Amino acid sequence: MEEQTEIRGINVEAVTPWFESHIQGAKPPLEFTLIAGGHSNLTFKVTDTAGQEFVLRRPPLSHVLASAHDMGREHKIISALWSTPVPVPQALGFCPDPEINGAPFYVMGFVPGVVLHDAEIARKSLGESERRATGESFIDVLADLHDVDVDAVGLGDLAKKQDYIARQLKRWYGQFQQSKTRELPAIDRVHDVLKAQIPPQERATVVHGDYRLGNCITDPKRGKIVAVLDWEICTLGDPVADVGYVLATWTQSTDPVAGTPGAPSLASGFPNREEILERYAKRSGRDLSKIDYYVAFSLWKSACIVEGVYARYLGGALGKTDVNLDQFKDRIDAFAELAAQAVARFA
């Protein structure tokens, strides 16, 4: 293996000895390969001279929000979940010292499999029966996550437990008001309805916040979720919010407006929304009678988040880009329209 001397986001000279001292069995020299980048946390595959594989996660190189890129928090979450039925990569080490690599980072085990980012990957990687099994496994894992006793596994102090939806509405509406590029009356109307009709929250559970197939590793041969990734915005709160998000992003070919174009669920074989809801209800025993509320909330929240990213692109804060901004704008409008439609079903 050729020793690397430079890779953006990794101080090879400093990280290598840290690895040797803190990650049991690691044998330098190490090879670092970027798996996922962009404006989220950076993920690197690390291969040692013996062919062993690890994963290193660190914050992005710019536009860092401490609350959104807390490596110690992510490491704590997967460490706590390792002993539960929820499949997560094994946490192997955490470096809080920013002097080593410019920012804190952590290392976890490498989990082989495929990440289903879109329908094309789902069609190429899995047969139709495996897609069905993957969809069912995906929901079973979510039910298992929401069944975790947060106090028993040491996550009871991760965040406030009550008033999750109220806190989320305040946070994202505030950010939308600060970053909006134009008037979007639907966002204001939907916010007011959501704020006025917040359902009572059951026992607080772990809420992933971005639970989708693109944030999971799938074993394509078995059609099984073998690891849940990207715990950046995980918190404690109302578990039904995760279910609403799954339904909101589970695009189907019959949808007149696609909130998530190209979603893996567009590939044939995956369960439909009704089957997903039924399976989760059976596994969890939860009351899902207010699910339309949570779908509307997820669509509304997505519109707010994407509008913020759109504003940063327009303002040049994210640098030069080949992103089609008109498509970006269309997606915000689609989320807002779908949120208004969902609110109309219960308001």
145 with 24, same domain? no
In angstroms, how far is the first alpha carbon of the chain from the final one? 62
Is residue 7 one of the residues assigned to a domain? no
Q: What is the pLDDT of residues 323-334, one digit of tens each?
A: 788 888 888 999
340 with 249, same domain? yes
pLDDT for the residue 59: 87
Is residue 130 one of the residues assigned to a domain? yes
End residue of a domain, out of 109, 136, 171: 109
Q: What is the pLDDT of residues 264-303, one digit of tens each?
A: 999 999 999 999 999 999 999 999 999 999 999 999 999 9
What does the alpha-carbon distance between residue 41 and residue 88 come to, in Å, rounded to a whole number?
17
Q: C-alpha distances in angstroms, 123 versus 70, 114, 132, 222, 237? A: 35, 12, 12, 15, 34
Number of domains forming the structure of the chain: 2
Q: In this structure, what are the phi and psi dihedrals at residue 205, rounded to the nearest 5 degrees?
A: -130, 175
Task: Write down the pTM of the prediction.
Answer: 0.92
Q: What is the pLDDT of residues 293-347, one digit of tens each?
A: 999 999 999 999 989 888 878 877 556 567 788 888 888 999 999 999 999 999 8
Domain around 239:
119-344
Q: What is the pLDDT of residues 201-224, one digit of tens each?
A: 989 999 999 999 999 999 999 999
Q: How many residues does the chain have?
A: 347
Indicate which CATH number applies to the domain containing 16: 3.30.200.20
265 with 333, same domain? yes
Q: What is the pLDDT of residues 62-81, one digit of tens each?
A: 654 444 568 999 999 999 99
pLDDT for the residue 297: 98
